[in-house]
Amino acid sequence: MNDFVYHIPTKMYFGRDCLGKLSNEMKGSGSRVLIVYGGGSVRRTGLLDRIKDYLKDDFTVFELAGIEPNPKIGSIRRGADLCKAENIDIVLAVGGGSVIDASKAIAAGACVDFDPWEFYGGPRRPIEKALPLYTVVTMASTGSEMTCGAVISNDETCEKLGRGGFPVFPRASFLDPQLTFSVPRFQTAAGAADILSHVMESYFKKDVDFFMLDRMMEAVMKTVVANAKIVLEEPENYEARGNLMWAASWAINGLFGGGSRQVWSCHPIEHELSARYDMTHGLGLAIITPRWMRYCMKTDPDTKQKFREFGAAVFGTSDEDEAVAALEKFLYEDLGLASTLKDAGIENTDAADMAASICKKGKINGYLPLDEKAVTEILEACV
């Protein structure tokens, strides 16, 4: 059992039409709002207009559209410049994890006079200040609405890097499960795989167990498995969408870390895939995770015990190989995600070259240490 500090200042609104509280909640923070969003879906669904309508009496609204999945530093620079030019008081993210992550970097970038990439690469400057950030969540996946971290990609350096700081915790996040009804099948499935992976990365740790947190993580993993299946059958099932949405926030908000070292295994590997191929993050994780499990059990039989516990708690099987098989069935059959890189449309991958890039600053010291050779082996199994 490790020492830790748990502190989430974000006010979480959950439920039908909670957006009605948005304007009131933001009022104390200023009057000039930059709404940040991604592609056309928030326009198409009418959500953007609804939000603008909620804000029209008390705010002057600016827009930054076109945040890409795996958001790029170019968008961050554009957003930070806009904030400075227009004296923006508040950043309002409307979207999924990419939009929220981008909004965090924009909110921080607006308060400094250096290039916002310097938060991520190079000097890795600390985030000491940010514009107040609010979020309206449209997808159950990254949990960014309840964390102070953000992952940003840089095409020039081919890097995808994470960075956090207390000032970019959202002041309030608005979670209306109805807003996720229209998320397409593939994105819903990839989101579920992402949530599950966040919990698994915390659950499989080498340092110490924490009974209560392990049981709570099992609770959330069961929630994802049970409710993702329902949602794919019934996209407008409010309860199931709501369960996935709340699970996404809790999967990664720091509670489950419980002070353990939290060096993740599959995420660093996947970040290389999405940096190179602009792959959907959750899909990449779904392809990698079962291979990583097999690698662990083969390399260190001591890991089998924890994989058995995972299988028993989440899938009701007490055999470690059946646990992997059950996870594969969930990811590739129930969720219908591609099971190989080739099926995901990515061919001619160079596993060794990717592994070299992933391990360029040393091995991944996660559940098992993964050096270049190990990462190559895992990636080769993904082809």
Beta carbon nearer to a second copy, 114 or 166: 166
Using the rule CB under 8 A, which residue among 15, 46, 122, 345 binds a second copy?
15
Residues 171-210 that bind a second copy (CB under 8 A): 177, 210
Selected binder of a second copy within 204, 250, 264, 292 (CB under 8 A): 250
Q: What is the DSSP letter of 333?
A: I
**27 near a second copy, judged by CB under 8 A:** no
**Which run of H or E residues covers position 153?**
strand 149-154
CB of 140 to a second copy, least distance (A): 11
Closer residue to a second copy, CB minimum distance, 175 or 338: 175
By CB under 8 A, tell whether 310 contacts a second copy: no
Interacting positions 270-299 with a second copy (CB under 8 A): none
Angle at 34 between CA 28 and CA 37, to 5 degrees: 125
**Minimum distance of a second copy from residue 28's CB (angstroms):** 14
Determine which residue in the list 65, 111, 112, 216 makes contact with a second copy, applying CB under 8 A: 216
Establish if 24 lies at the interface with a second copy (CB under 8 A).
Answer: no
In one letter, which amino acid is 19?
L
Interaction of residue 158 with a second copy, rule CB under 8 A: no
DSSP state of 8: -
Tell me how far, at minimum, the Cβ of 214 lies from a second copy, in Å: 8
Q: Which DSSP string do the residues of 80-102 spell out, in sequence order? A: HHHHHHTT--EEEEEESHHHHHH
133, 171 Cβ separation under 8 angstroms: yes
Measured in whole angstroms, how far is the alpha carbon of residue 66 from the centre of its chain?
A: 19
Q: Counting contacts by CB under 8 A, is residue 122 touching a second copy?
A: no
**DSSP designation for 67:** P
Closest-CA residue to 294 (of 329, 323, 268, 253): 323
Spatial contact of 76 and 10, defined as CB atoms under 8 Å apart: no
Among positions 76-105, residues that touch a second copy (CB under 8 A) are none
Sequence-distant (≥ 6) Cβ neighbours of residue 260 within 8 angstroms: 2, 202, 205, 207, 208, 210
Provide the binding-site residues for a second copy, judged by CB under 8 A: 1-16, 18, 177, 210-213, 215-216, 218-220, 222-223, 226-227, 238-239, 242-243, 246-247, 250, 259
